[in-house]
Amino acid sequence: MSELDYYEILEISKDADSNTIKKAFRKLALKYHPDRNQGNLEAERKFKEINEAYQCLGDEEKRKIYDRYGKAGLGSSSGFRGFEDFSDIFESFFGDGFSRSTKKRVDNYVLDVEINLRVDFKDAVFGTQKELKYKIKKPCKTCDGNGGKKNTCKTCGGSGKFTQTRGFMSFVSTCPHCNGIGEIIVEKCKKCSGLGYEEEEICFKFDVPKGVDNGMKIRISQKGNLSKSGEYGDLYVNITVKEDDKFIRHGDDVYIEIPIFVTQAMLGENILIPTLRGEKNLKLHIGTKDKEQFILENEGIENIRTKEIGKLIAQISIKMPTKLNDEQIKMIQNLQESFGVKTNEIAETSLFEKIKGWFK
């Protein structure tokens, strides 16, 4: 079975801009949302496909990888979220009234923290150590994280939930006045201005694992924000890998273009080619063709999970001379005639038969 095309799923062209992608997602997500198609398994399947397609095409970096290598280039670690977490995306378009479940807030901020980390290609391949510097939220010591003096929210009666009716459907969402907390600050804390938290800068050394790929998200336990109860959230590091000027990554395999002179292809020479781990010898065969690929096993990238090493695929690019002096022209004419082809000979059937014989 052929894999589904993300552009076809969202019913857009491959040159669609970000606004077009968002509009297509909004239209289809509304159409196939489970709340409008209860018990319809086909609609649920479509909803999941729309989710996956938008998470790829709606992300500029993931879209570049997908356009170049297809779904395989994203790998199993592409960071796509599951069906239950799709509510986060949907809320950003329609508000949380369409969410499948109301997210519980801890204090007045979420505990998990996300930061972005950009690493060089070679560092992603072999691993490296990076210093991470970011800020976390901690309960304000002056007001114990309350933000000041509070009263029960009159809008939701302290429940933190709010019921909305849209047409024939009713939705329970987070109360817009108290943000789901159930209380309203009536007198703000002077230290934190009613926020309920203060910020602290965190700095530590982080070991980037070998084999990490573009778009991966790495979780570091208990390095996030601190709650009033003393619970730390997690830190999520979003990885972006810089492109290399020689190598192109596709999963655990690496591609490289090897330019050679036409005579090297004809003679089948031994050549040295660059690999991730230094130069390696590559034996060409007589009559090597342009764009022909040579595979070097275990010269690719170590898989971050299985530890298996991918392949290096060396693709040949034959370079032809664009200028010849008289002596070179004469030498090549002599070579040509040695194969039984005369200069300026008309391309007849007999000539094609001769040429075919060279490659047998």
> Annotation-wise, does 203 bind a ligand?
no
Q: Which residues contact 138 (CB under 8 A, 6 or more apart)?
A: 197, 198, 199, 200, 225, 226
Burial of 46 (0-12, 13-18, 19+ CB in 10 A): middle
Burial class, 175, CB count within 10 angstroms (exposed 0-12 / middle 13-18 / buried 19+): buried
Q: Is 56 annotated as a binding residue?
A: no
Name 274's bridge partners.
Answer: 279
DSSP 240-288: EEPPPSSEEEETTEEEEEEEEEHHHHHHT-EEEEEETTEEEEEEPPTTP
How would you list the strands of the sheet with 217-220, edge to edge? 113-119, 235-241, 217-220
Q: Is 140 marked within a binding site?
A: yes
CA 53 – CA 360 distance, rounded (Å): 47
Nearest by Cα to 117 from 107, 106, 109, 128:
128
**Where does residue 283 rank: exposed (0-12), middle (13-18), buried (19+ CB within 10 A)?**
exposed
Q: Which residues contact 1 (CB under 8 A, 6 or more apart)?
A: none
Chain centroid to CA 80: 9
Q: Are strands 113-119 and 235-241 parallel, antiparallel or unpaired?
A: parallel
CA 46, 47, 48, 51 torsion-angle sign: positive
Q: From the CA atom positions of the chain, what is the Rg in Å?
A: 30
Q: What is the largest CA-CA distance in the chain?
A: 100
Please provide the distance, in angstroms rounded to a whole number, between the alpha carbons at the two ends of the chain: 37
**What residues are designated binding site?**
140, 143, 153, 156, 175, 178, 189, 192
Task: Detail the residues annotated as belonging to a binding site for Zn(2+).
Answer: 140, 143, 153, 156, 175, 178, 189, 192
